[in-house]
Structure 1
């Protein structure tokens, strides 16, 4: 059952990447999957539901990928630094999820607030866990890890896919990443 659902989502992703959401039809996805439209509708209410499921799946894959890239780093500060660098690098590239997140109209139209909050909450909880660990080790100041994780996540968004203005021409992406890391380190590390 999950295999068919993932096949449908894979083919929908391929088609949407190539032609966009509006030009992708359920008939085309059905042909690409070599299954009936009835089978597609057994898994998804409509194209919007399928797109929401696809976006959620891809967001979770991205989260898993980014956290897996940190490997077995035991130092919480180093994990936060690596996570920040890798995430900004990832979201400044042209990935399916990044294109969707940058397309405010499409993203907001199909990922309802419940799903959006669910994804944000998952990420914030993971970051808060790293901060909590740093506090327990005595490396980080006594801070409210949920609030700091939330603020850090919002800053990350501002430095990557949710940027609302251009960066100064004389500075590159790496410079802005290092400024954000410096800010995070100075906000958390005990002196």
Structure 2
């Protein structure tokens, strides 16, 4: 088989700069980071476990100690990315008291995450044949959990008289749908998006609607 040169992609920022990546407990994270780079560069079907091992700086056998197959590694890579996204969402939503600001920061985080990690997002939304039913169900439950969290926030705001009496669940579904509609544009855009402007306009539409006149 013809050897191909691995072209490194930009790495994600490390949360803990001082951690010792040579320790046993860090090898799984190293392999997941390497898998993100190799899968995003070659796609699921063309990526090879040998390349992932080389990128991670471990032996091929070590990869199989942590992941039973390439499919298992691919799926765990997706789940780890969404776990990280979910943690950031929860943190962001708890930082502001004003609903408008909380939602604006939620949108900014969402847009930034999709744009910054668009290689991983492209695999999640484009490599459906590589995701089995269990992971699809997990992705659906992830979306439902996000909608439920937002619905609870809208309901609490209603009880405090801060927003008018609308269906909290439907409002949450509308917002999550608006967020999802930006995924493909952010993945495939060749220019740097104006994320602040996008977030502000979505919030204006959500809070003010599109009508010029108030009835």
TM more than 0.5: yes
Assess if the C-alpha contact under 8 Å between 1:127 and 1:149 holds in 2: yes
Offset, 1:57: 0.8
Whether 1:24 and 2:62 are equivalent positions in the alignment is no
Structure with more helix by fraction: 1
Residue-by-residue CA offset, 1:105-148 (whole Å, 9 max, x unaligned): 31x22334212202212322332232233123221222332222
Whether 1:146 and 2:169 are equivalent positions in the alignment is yes
Whether 1:34 and 2:54 are equivalent positions in the alignment is no
Offset, 1:73: 0.9
Offset, 1:153: 0.3
Correspondence for 2:143 among 113, 120, 140: 120
Supply the distance in 2 between the matched residues of 1:96 and 1:133 (Cα, whole angstroms): 37
The unaligned stretches of length 5 or more in structure 1 are none
Assess if the C-alpha contact under 8 Å between 2:28 and 2:66 holds in 1: yes
Q: CA RMSD in A?
A: 3.1
User: Rg: which structure is higher?
Assistant: 2
- Which residue in 2 is equivalent to 1:64? 87
Assess if the C-alpha contact under 8 Å between 1:128 and 1:149 holds in 2: yes
The unaligned stretches of length 5 or more in structure 2 are 1-23, 210-215
Offset, 1:66: 4.1
Assess if the C-alpha contact under 8 Å between 2:53 and 2:59 holds in 1: yes
Supply the distance in 1 between the matched residues of 2:150 and 2:120 (Cα, whole angstroms): 20
Supply the distance in 1 between the matched residues of 2:175 and 2:204 (Cα, whole angstroms): 12
- Which residue in 2 is equivalent to 1:4? 27
Supply the distance in 2 between the matched residues of 1:84 and 1:109 (Cα, whole angstroms): 29
Offset, 1:2: 5.8
- Matched residues, number: 177
* TM-score in terms of structure 2 length: 0.66
Supply the distance in 1 between the matched residues of 2:112 and 2:53 (Cα, whole angstroms): 35
Residues 1:11 and 1:94: Cα distance change in structure 2 (over 3 Å): closer
Correspondence for 1:110 among 130, 155, 175: 130
